[in-house]
Amino acid sequence: MKINIYYGGRGLLEDPALYVISTITQVLTELRVNVDRYNLYEDKSSIPTLPSTLKDADGIILVVSLEWFGIGGYMQQFLDNCWLYGDQEKIKNIYMLPIVMATTYGERDAEVYLIKAWDTLGGISLNGLSAYVENHTDFETNSIYRGIIEKKAENLYRSINQTAPILPNSNAAVKDNVSKTRSIDLTPQESEQLSRFVSNDTYVKKQKQDIEELSAMFKNMLGTSEPQEKEGEFIREFRTNFYPEEGFSAKYIIIIPDRESTLSIEVTPNSIKCWYSDDTEADVVMKAETKVLKSIINGKNTFQRAFMAGEITAKGNFKTLRTLDQIFRFRY
């Protein structure tokens, strides 16, 4: 059996969460459990790669030190990256024990937050351990408190060992809907590789430089001439109502099923290109009937409202999708 501990505190000596971690680790080690601990504060840049450490775990312990409000930035980053890069099929079989040690108000809320987050990820959450600690010395020398902590560790071991079932909860239904907004459909291996790239600042900067150099090179090769684009319905409206944003470039594809046509739109901080084509690759690919597009162009609707109402379906980068209503301002 393998259990990972993810500590989201700052590593302060007086942090009572460290005592809880030490006690739980001792109990699990005596039960012959392989325990690995990850201190999120030690290497912030590696947090995007940590979801890959879940693949060999039977259970995890999320430990939060509540010093002000909420679960803290390190743990939030870890959970965000589990959503973006974690293997969802693996997560759904992992038991999670939340632990919150607070020196201020809100330990119950933080515990519930961790449970809801892990449920939404699709994992299995157990009743956690939360406490308000006014004096860490009194807390650590209290034998009754130690007994409670040890029982929590034993319960985690027992739950995993016996594959304890849990009742269904509504967060699973939320996950099924929310997960549809993931912008890229990747395999677990691709997600793990992407998380490594994201955590590598040098790689990200180099990619941006390469893209800028390629853009400049092709611009010089093409000169100032623009490719001849096929005029057609909607093209003029998009061109005349285009409001570029500094630093924003994207490509959109709008599939119009009732016309059996595909409208491609490419925007940069300085220009816009519109044409009908058979393209299938873009930052955002949408499907919309003619009447829906006309209502947007006539200023009676927006892309965001149409998407929320189900009149438009889309896949790709949803932040880029939301930008449509900023760069194209149609008025009634």
**Tens of pLDDT, residues 229-256:** 344 678 989 998 999 998 999 999 999 9
Best-predicted range by mean pLDDT (18-27, 200-209, 271-280, 285-294): 18-27
The β-bridge partners of 287 are: 255, 313
pLDDT at 162 (0 to 100): 92
Q: Is the pLDDT score of 79 beyond 80?
A: yes
Q: Which of 134-138, 186-190, 320-324 has the lowest mean pLDDT?
A: 186-190
Integer angstrom CA distances of residue 184 from 46, 79, 92, 121, 316? 21, 18, 20, 16, 6
The CATH number for 2-191, chosen from 3.40.50.360, 3.10.580.10, 3.40.50.12780, 2.60.120.200, is: 3.40.50.360
Q: Kindly provide the b/e burial profile for residues 115-154, where b requires at least 16 CB atoms within 10 angstroms of the residue's own CB.
A: bebbbbbbbbbbebbbbbbeebeebbeeeebeeebeebbe
**Tens of pLDDT, residues 26-68:** 999 999 999 999 999 987 788 989 999 998 999 999 999 999 8
CATH number of 226-327: 3.30.1050.10
Q: Is the pLDDT score of 176 beyond 70?
A: no
Query: What sign does the dihedral 39-117-45-179 (CA atoms) show?
Result: positive
Please identify which residue in the block is written with the tokens 């006014």: 134
**Tens of pLDDT, residues 120-162:** 999 999 999 999 999 999 999 999 999 999 999 999 999 999 9
Question: Where exactly does CATH 3.30.1050.10 map onto the chain?
Answer: 226-327
**Tens of pLDDT, residues 84-97:** 888 888 999 999 99
Question: Where exactly does CATH 3.40.50.360 map onto the chain?
Answer: 2-191
pLDDT at 136 (0 to 100): 92
Higher pLDDT pick, 27 / 169? 27
Q: Which contacts (CB < 8 Å, 24+ apart) does range 287-292 have?
A: 287/254, 287/255, 287/256, 287/257, 287/312, 287/313, 287/314, 288/254, 288/255, 288/256, 288/312, 289/256, 289/257, 289/258, 290/256, 290/258, 290/259
pLDDT-derived band of residue 69, with 50, 70 and 90 as boundaries? Answer: confident
N-to-C CA span, the chain: 64
Average pLDDT, the chain: 85
pLDDT at 17 (0 to 100): 96
